[in-house]
Amino acid sequence: VTLNDLARQLNVSTATVSRALSTPEMVAPQTRERILEAVQKSGYRLNVIARALRTQKTRTLGLLVSDIRNTFFSAIVKAVEDVARENDYTVMICNADEDGRNEDAAMRLFSERQVSGVIHCFAGGNIKGLQHLQAQGIPLVDLDRKSGLTDVDFIVVNNERGASLAAQHLIDLGHRQIGMIAGPKHLSNSRSRLEGFRRTLRQAGIPTSSEQIEFGDFREASGQEAMYRLLALKKRPTALFVANNEMMAGALSVIRSAQVRIPHDLSVVGFDDAHWFQYLETPLTVVAQPVEAMGRRAAELLLARIEQKQGPTLEVFEPRLIIRSSTGSLDKKKTF
């Protein structure tokens, strides 16, 4: 079946059939529906390479996630792909595995494949790769973590406020020995979470001791190592804020093997929710990000930039504290 056959059968021009497939927004909705239905029935397969050559557009969004095994980023992938599908775009996904070198390689790939735009979750890569994409006229949206580029859209949660909600919750429960497993210092969201935590303790007149703040790299193993160090302290914390879900998994495994009871011996609050956290034996108190909404908005902004409808914007989403059972009031009698 050729485009000409379809055009004859539908009594429209070949150009209209072609437009319905390559730039559907330029065809009246009714005609477009009729054409797409006929195309589907006929078994016609679009040659996307020929289309890209003809239109000079790949209709592909590059999406770089920092760690694809992390459920935060799988939710981002789903949301971005949903928006892309609704707009007849496809998504090329690359995983940095929290390694800047993989991020740099992904930027080169996006450049070679001439993607229409890039959603970028920074993992410590070189800003030059991003500047190169910009020089090619490929629009970028930073998501979740700042790359350091100006003139890009940026979608982020209010990290400082999220950390502050967590810290204030622990303070309200009577805790004064509050530890934190923070993320890596080179990531903007990680720095903001640490800042929000410190500020809230300071405002409550609680001194933060540096030995109660451990740093990880947002991966599970670093959460384990940090937790070992915290449990080895002479003056252990009675409450703990963990700055992401992956490090939380590591911390929990150590807490469990050390037979520390949550929340009786240690109250725990994490940053990032996962739908199964509520089903744990001790459901986790968390600061949740509106991940799907953030992913969708990043894709919408990028599409707007591709169509040149919008300039760079900063959109900050609000986090939410979800109180479950892993936090409790300070038990004065505990010997821990």
At its nearest, how many Å lie between ligand RIB and the CB of residue 197? Answer: 14
Select from 27-35, 46-54, 197-205, 242-250 the region that touches ligand RIB (CB under 6 A). Answer: 242-250
Residue closer to ligand RIB by CB (options 35, 106) is: 106
Buried b (16+ CB within 10 A) or exposed e, 161-195: bbbbbbbbbbbebebebbbbbbbbeebbbbbbbbe
Select from 104-112, 123-131, 240-248, 298-306 the region that touches ligand RIB (CB under 6 A). Answer: 240-248
Residue closer to ligand RIB by CB (options 100, 174) is: 100
Considering only residues 57 to 76 of the shown chain, the ones binding ligand RIB according to CB under 6 A are 70, 72
The angle at the Cα of 265, spanning 193 to 185, to the nearest 5 degrees, equals 20
Q: What is the DSSP string of 42-108?
A: HT----HHHHHHHHS---EEEEEES-TTSHHHHHHHHHHHHHHHHTT-EEEEEE-TT-HHHHHHHHH
Question: Residues 127-146: x/- map of binding to ligand RIB (CB under 6 A)?
Answer: -----------------xx-
DSSP 3-state of 21:
helix
DSSP 3-state of 20:
helix
* Number of chain residues interacting with ligand RIB (CB under 6 A): 11
At its nearest, how many Å lie between ligand RIB and the CB of residue 230? Answer: 19
Residue closer to ligand RIB by CB (options 129, 216) is: 216
Q: Is 246 in the site for ligand RIB (CB under 6 A)?
A: yes
Residue closer to ligand RIB by CB (options 16, 245) is: 245
Could you give the maximum distance between any two Cα atoms of the chain, in Å? 85
At its nearest, how many Å lie between ligand RIB and the CB of residue 289? Answer: 6
Distance CA 264, CA 162 (A): 24
Q: Is 95 in the site for ligand RIB (CB under 6 A)?
A: no
Residue closer to ligand RIB by CB (options 60, 189) is: 189
Distance CA 70, CA 223 (A): 14
DSSP one-letter code for 280:
S
Distance CA 106, CA 122 (A): 11
Is the peptide bond preceding residue 29 cis, with omega within 30 degrees of 0? no
Residue closer to ligand RIB by CB (options 21, 94) is: 94
Q: Is 241 in the site for ligand RIB (CB under 6 A)?
A: no
At its nearest, how many Å lie between ligand RIB and the CB of residue 1? Answer: 46
Residue number of the CB closest to ligand RIB reads 244
At its nearest, how many Å lie between ligand RIB and the CB of residue 195? Answer: 15
Beta strands in the chain (DSSP E): 60-65, 90-95, 117-120, 140-143, 153-157, 178-182, 213-215, 239-242, 267-271, 285-288, 314-317, 320-322
At its nearest, how many Å lie between ligand RIB and the CB of residue 98? Answer: 9
Question: Residues 256-275: x/- map of binding to ligand RIB (CB under 6 A)?
Answer: ---------------xx---
Structure token digits, residue 326:
């892993």
Among 197, 218, 241, 277, binds ligand RIB (CB under 6 A): 218
Phi, psi of 130 (to 5 degrees): -70, -40
CB 177 within 8 A of CB 236: yes
The residues binding ligand RIB (CB under 6 A) are: 70, 72, 144-145, 189, 218, 244-246, 271-272
